[in-house]
Amino acid sequence: MSKRKKFNEEIQRFGRSLLLPIAVMAPVGMVLGLAGALVQSYMIAKLPFLGNKALNTALISLRDIANVIFANIPLMFAMGVAYGMSKKEKGIAVFSSVLSYLVLNISINVWLTVTGNLAPAADMANKGQAMVLGIQTLRLDALGGIISGLIAAWAADKYYNLELPLAFAFFGGKKSVPIISMVITIVCGLTIPFVWQALTVALIYLSKVLLQDIIGTFLFGFVNRIFIPLGLHHVWNSMLRFTEAGGSYVIGGKTFVGILPAMNEILFKLGPTNEAWSLMPKLTRYSAQLQMVNTLFMIPAIGLAMYKSAYAKNKKYVKGIIVTLVLTAVLGNVTEPMEFSFLFIAPALFLFHAVMLGVSGVALYLMGTAVGYIRGTIFDFAIFGLMYENTRWYNILIVGVIMFAIYYFVFTWAIKKWNIKTPGREDEEMTTNTLLQEKKYDEIAKIVIEALGGKGNIAHVENCITRLRVDLKDQNLVDKDKIKDSGTSGIFFPAKNHIHVVFGPHVEFVRNAVDDELSK
């Protein structure tokens, strides 16, 4: 394997490792948003029963319980990255990542103390320091967790089978991993303060572009979609959410790095009546409101265009497929199955899609839209748009309806003009495939394995949120026609001997079935 290919695969793996903590944050964020909205004074004025002491106490308690997740985002990233990046002993990697994160913070604390740079409590924010798990340290935020996760994953893969001399044999094997992780972390913790300032300056420089009103807003939506085929959009999003690239914001005397911590403070604690709410349009332009235009309007418009463009003989079969793809986006915030249905057969349409997302983001921002959070489902729209004041949620409807019309006519015209083989436009008559709907994952697994050249041709299997990712020994053995029988909505080869098979939200169950079949 070439160094370039290996590097690209590791970057993709890293992007996927960020999904686990983000997947936890999304539903917890909905709970936090719902509870946070219902305890706002303006909401109680509208619905007096919310002022009931018992109910109000319960909602505040629920908000505080959910908020503990967001108070420990770096620790979540440490565990998520360790789990996602390790290939051998994932359990010991996660355990080691927690120890590594603790050691990282205390090591930096030691450096700050010894060098006389430990800031007084009142001046911590100005010095880029904060209390983390009871330790005063530099504000590495999510990056600190990522560093710990990477160290633990590397140590787990390299030393899980370490043999030591007999006198020290007890500390060998898996037990060596947390020890080695802590030693490496001490070195990092004592080194990071020297490079932290330079890294912060670099991210601040990058943020000057990304935080510009027009260019930065456009780039967010455009690059987010362009990175979809590479699986790197999660890295892009996380960089803006948790690092200096997303900006630094002073709210109530506290400094928040990245858009998500700042948004959490305003959305869940201060509320729409606080003066800090004026920052929301700058924060939300990088969050859910643009995805809502995509999931609630663009994807349905694409689906309608595909259905209307399908051959009459295939419409009764393609209707169920398209409805499923649309509902997957509207209800689950998963757009890849629909996007992959035209990405590789009509890249010009995907480029159009990326450009229009950027344009939509700029339009929402200029209209002062302030609908927060990280997912674009109809539920998020109801909670973070309709239930909060001063969000200007109606802008999403205005931009969305315009985009729906543009997308429907552009996609319908392009599909017919260039005879693009979108679902339903195959020359042969379609037959319905209900394996996914009927959850026959065992049958799907057998088809996938056979189509990929059999067990002997499969080197490694894993999955992200929508795709089965398989390393092959020889990609020439793949039967592209056969694999369609599994119910996949698309396949592609991002690298030689590496295939992605799209199953949408069913993918984890398909992957489990494939693992079971391979182990027989």
φ, ψ of residue 369 to 5 degrees: the values are -70, 140
At 59, the amino acid letter reads: L
Which residues lie across from 460 on neighbouring strands?
A: 471
Total length of the chain: 520
Task: For residue 10, count other CB atoms closer than 10 A to its CB.
Answer: 11
Q: Which string of DSSP letters, residue by residue, matches 339-375?
A: HHHHHTT-HHHHHHHHHHHHHHHHHHHHTT----SS-
Q: Where do we find the tokens 């690239």?
A: 245
- Domain-embedded: residue 245: no
Q: What average pLDDT does the structure give for the chain? A: 85
Hey, which of 118-132, 199-213, 316-330, 474-488 has the most confident mean pLDDT?
Answer: 474-488
Question: What pLDDT is recorded for position 367?
Answer: 97
Question: What beta strand segments (E) does 134-270 contain?
Answer: 135-138, 248-251, 254-257
At 290, the amino acid letter reads: L
Write down which residue in 210, 234, 260 finishes a domain.
Answer: 210
Angstrom distance (rounded) from CA 80 to CA 286 = 23
pLDDT tens digits for range 221-233 = 998 888 876 656 7
Question: What pLDDT is recorded for position 426?
Answer: 62
Signed CA dihedral, 501, 506, 508, 510: sign only = negative
Instruction: Give 302's Cβ-side CA count (13 Å radius).
Output: 30
The answer to whether 129 touches 137, Cβ cutoff 8 Å, is: yes
Task: For residue 371, count other CB atoms closer than 10 A to its CB.
Answer: 26
CATH number at residue 452: 3.30.1360.60
Write down which residue in 152, 175, 210 finishes a domain.
Answer: 210
Q: Where do we find the tokens 């996938």?
A: 448
As a whole number, mean pLDDT of residues 230-248 equals 77
Angstrom distance (rounded) from CA 137 to CA 149 = 18
As a whole number, mean pLDDT of residues 276-298 equals 94
* Overall pTM > 0.85: no
- Domain-embedded: residue 234: no
pLDDT tens digits for range 69-86 = 878 888 998 999 999 899
Question: What pLDDT is recorded for position 244?
Answer: 81
Angstrom distance (rounded) from CA 346 to CA 305 = 14
HEC letters along 375-438: CCCHHHHHHHHHCCCCCCCHHHHHHHHHHHHHHHHHHHHHHHHCCCCCCCCCCCCCCCCCCCCC
- Report the domain count for the chain: 2
Question: What pLDDT is recorded for position 180?
Answer: 95
- Domain-embedded: residue 52: yes
Q: Which of 399, 344, 70, 401 is nearest to 217 (CA)?
A: 399
- Domain-embedded: residue 398: no
The answer to whether 133 touches 78, Cβ cutoff 8 Å, is: no
Angstrom distance (rounded) from CA 348 to CA 247 = 33
Question: What pLDDT is recorded for position 23?
Answer: 67
Instruction: Give Cα 373 distance to the centre of its chain.
Output: 12
The answer to whether 190 touches 199, Cβ cutoff 8 Å, is: no
- Domain-embedded: residue 256: no
Angstrom distance (rounded) from CA 449 to CA 444 = 9
The token duo for 355 is 């450009």
- pLDDT exceeds cutoff 60 at 428: no
- Domain-embedded: residue 164: yes
Write down which residue in 210, 238, 259 finishes a domain.
Answer: 210
Q: Which of 360, 327, 407 is nearest to 224 (CA)?
A: 360
Considering only 69-78, 89-98, 492-501, which range has the smallest mean pLDDT? 492-501
Question: What pLDDT is recorded for position 8?
Answer: 67
Question: What pLDDT is recorded for position 258?
Answer: 87
- Domain-embedded: residue 205: yes
In this predicted model, which residue has the larger pLDDT, 339 or 357? Answer: 357
**Structural domain of residue 514, as residue ranges?**
441-518
Which residues lie across from 249 on neighbouring strands?
A: 256
φ, ψ of residue 36 to 5 degrees: the values are -65, -40
- Domain-embedded: residue 387: no
In this predicted model, which residue has the larger pLDDT, 164 or 99? Answer: 99
Which residues lie across from 130 on neighbouring strands?
A: 137
Q: Which string of DSSP letters, residue by residue, matches 430-471?
A: P----TTTTT-HHHHHHHHHHHTT-GGGEEEEEE-SSEEEEE
Question: What pLDDT is recorded for position 298?
Answer: 96
Question: What pLDDT is recorded for position 329?
Answer: 84
